[in-house]
C-alpha cells in the first residue's frame, strides 16, 4: 500500500506594488521657471496693463488657495507672491513711463513755443526794418539788425537792408573820425554783402585810418619794449630780452598790409627789432644747447641715491664695495656724504674700513661716481 506524499503548501505570490508617480525632471522645472520669470519681466515692462495682469493672476491664486481639498495651495502661495511683485513692478514702470512721457511732451511744447516766439520776433523785426524809410537815422536800423544777434540769424529778406544800415552808420562814424567804432560795423556790412565794392572800399579806408590812430599810441609802446629788450641783453638776460622782442614784433605785425607798415617810423622800429634779435640769437641758441645738455645729464644720472637713515651709508656704494673688496665680510662703514650732482654723475664721498690682502684692517676714503643706481667710477681723495 503506497503512502501518499505530504502535499506541499504553495505560498501566494506577492501582488505587484503600484509605481509611484514620477515628479517633473530638473530640466523641466528650470525651463518652466525661466518662462515664468520671462513672463513676469514682460508683464512688469507693460506698465499699467501689466498691473492688471498681475491683479488677475493674484485673484486666480487666491481662488485656488481657498478651494476645498486643494492640493496646490503651496503653488498658489508662490504664484500670489509673484503676482504681487508683478503688480508693484508694473505700477512703478507705469508711473515712470508717464513721467517720461509728460517730460517729453513738456520739452516738445517748450521747443515749439520758443520756435514760434523766434519766428514772431523775426517777422516783427523784418517788418520794422522794411518799414523804415531810407531817410531814417541809420542807428535805428542798426539797433533792429543787432537784435538778431548773430549775422547768420538775420532773415534773408532783411540782410540787404541791414547791410545798408551798417554801411551808413559806418560812414557816419568814419566822418566823425571814429574809425575804431566804424570798422566793426563795416565788417558786418561786408559779411552781409561780400561782393559790394562800395563796402569793401569804405572798410579798407576805415582800417587804414584806424591803423594810423592805433600806431600813434602803440608806436611808443614798441619803442619802450625795444628799450627794455636792449637793457635785458646788456644784463645777459637773454630770455627776458627775447620776450620783449616777441611782444614788439607782435604789435608791429598788426599793421601788416596797411599803409602804416610802409611808413618810416614803422620800418625804423621793425629794423631795430630785427637787429636786436640778430644780436641775441646766438646767445639764445647757446642757452638752448646748455639746457638740452643739462637735461641729458639729468637723465644719465638717474634717481638720486639716498643715505641710509640708520648709519648714513649709501646702498649703491656698499653694494659695489662688497663686490670688489678682498674680504667683503670685513666691510665697516664709517661715514658717507650726501650725494651731490655733478655733470652726469652723483658723487658720494665715503670712508670705510676693510681688510687688505695681508689681512690688516685699514681705513679708506674714496669718491664714488654713481649713474643709474650703479657705481661707474672711483677716485681717491
C-alpha cell at 293: 645738455
Which residues in the chain come in under a pLDDT of 70? Answer: 1-48, 50-51, 53-55, 57-58, 61, 64-66, 68-76, 79-80, 83, 85-87, 90, 94-98, 118, 120-135
- Give the angle subtended at the CA of 137 by the CAs of 135 and 140, to the nearest 5°: 125
Residues 282 and 325 in one domain: no
Residues 116 and 144 in one domain: no
- Give the angle subtended at the CA of 371 by the CAs of 369 and 377, to the nearest 5°: 35
How far CA 347 is from CA of 143, 213, 291, 343, 371, in Å, comes to 75, 63, 21, 10, 9
Of 268, 299, 330, which one is at a domain's C-terminal end? 299
Q: Is the pTM of this model over 0.85?
A: no
Domain interval for residue 178? 138-194
Residues 276 and 334 in one domain: no
- Is residue 209 situated within a structural domain? no
- Residue corresponding to grid cell 507672491: 81
Q: Phi/psi class of residue 359: alpha, beta or left (left: φ > 0; alpha: ψ in -120 to 50)?
A: left
> Do residues 366 and 348 lie in contact, with contact meaning Cβ atoms separated by under 8 Å?
no
Residues 66 and 100 in one domain: yes
Of 274, 299, 324, which one is at a domain's C-terminal end? 299
- Is residue 160 situated within a structural domain? yes
- Is residue 204 situated within a structural domain? no
Residue 236's pLDDT is: 92
Residues 279 and 222 in one domain: yes
Residues 124 and 54 in one domain: yes
- Is residue 15 situated within a structural domain? no
**Span 260-318, pLDDT tens digits:** 999 999 999 999 999 999 999 999 999 999 999 999 999 999 999 999 999 999 999 99
Residues 145 and 126 in one domain: no
Residues 46 and 126 in one domain: yes
Q: What is the distance between the alpha carbons of residues 194 and 166, in angstroms, rounded to a whole number?
A: 13
Residues 149 and 164 in one domain: yes
How far CA 234 is from CA of 169, 225, 226, in Å, comes to 51, 14, 12
- Is residue 80 situated within a structural domain? yes
> Do residues 336 and 347 lie in contact, with contact meaning Cβ atoms separated by under 8 Å?
no
Using CB atoms within 10 A of its CB, is residue 312 exposed (0-12), middle (13-18) or buried (19+)?
Answer: middle
Q: How many domains does the chain have?
A: 4
Selection from 360, 354, 361, 293 nearest residue 325 by Cα: 354
Amino acid at each position: 500500500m503506497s503512502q501518499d506524499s505530504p502535499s506541499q503548501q504553495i505560498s501566494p505570490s506577492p501582488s505587484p506594488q503600484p509605481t509611484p508617480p514620477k515628479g517633473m525632471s530638473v530640466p523641466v522645472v528650470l525651463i518652466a521657471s525661466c518662462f515664468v520669470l520671462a513672463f513676469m519681466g514682460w508683464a512688469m515692462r507693460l506698465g499699467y496693463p501689466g498691473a492688471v495682469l498681475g491683479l488677475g493672476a493674484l485673484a486666480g491664486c487666491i481662488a485656488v488657495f481657498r478651494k476645498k481639498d486643494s492640493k496646490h495651495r503651496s503653488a498658489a502661495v508662490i504664484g500670489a507672491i509673484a503676482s504681487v511683485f508683478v503688480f508693484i513692478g508694473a505700477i512703478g514702470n507705469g508711473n515712470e513711463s508717464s513721467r517720461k512721457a509728460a517730460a517729453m511732451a513738456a520739452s516738445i511744447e517748450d521747443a515749439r513755443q520758443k520756435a514760434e516766439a523766434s519766428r514772431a520776433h523775426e517777422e516783427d523785426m523784418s517788418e520794422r526794418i522794411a518799414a523804415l524809410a531810407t531817410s531814417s537815422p541809420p542807428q535805428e536800423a542798426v539797433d533792429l539788425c543787432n537784435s538778431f544777434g548773430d549775422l547768420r540769424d538775420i532773415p534773408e529778406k532783411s540782410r540787404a537792408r541791414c547791410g545798408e544800415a551798417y554801411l551808413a552808420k559806418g560812414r557816419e562814424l568814419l566822418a566823425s573820425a571814429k574809425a575804431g567804432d566804424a570798422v566793426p560795423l563795416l565788417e558786418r556790412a561786408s559779411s552781409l554783402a561780400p561782393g559790394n565794392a562800395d563796402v569793401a572800399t569804405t572798410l579798407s579806408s576805415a582800417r587804414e585810418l584806424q591803423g594810423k590812430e592805433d600806431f600813434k599810441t602803440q608806436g611808443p609802446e614798441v619803442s619802450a619794449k625795444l628799450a627794455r629788450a636792449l637793457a635785458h641783453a646788456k644784463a645777459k638776460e637773454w630770455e627776458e630780452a627775447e620776450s620783449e622782442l616777441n611782444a614788439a614784433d607782435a604789435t608791429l605785425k598788426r599793421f601788416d598790409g596797411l599803409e602804416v607798415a610802409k611808413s618810416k617810423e614803422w620800418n625804423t622800429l621793425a629794423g631795430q627789432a630785427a637787429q636786436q634779435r640778430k644780436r641775441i640769437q646766438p646767445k639764445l641758441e647757446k642757452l638752448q644747447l646748455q639746457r638740452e645738455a643739462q637735461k641729458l645729464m639729468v637723465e644719465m644720472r638717474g634717481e638720486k641715491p639716498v643715505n641710509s637713515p640708520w648709519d648714513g651709508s649709501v646702498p649703491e656704494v656698499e653694494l659695489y664695495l662688497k663686490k670688489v673688496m678682498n674680504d667683503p665680510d670685513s666691510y665697516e662703514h664709517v661715514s658717507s656724504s650726501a650725494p651731490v650732482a655733478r655733470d652726469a654723475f652723483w658723487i658720494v664721498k665715503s670712508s670705510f674700513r676693510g681688510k687688505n690682502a695681508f689681512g690688516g684692517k685699514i681705513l679708506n676714503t674714496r669718491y664714488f661716481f654713481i649713474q643709474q643706481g650703479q657705481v661707474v667710477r672711483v677716485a681717491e681723495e
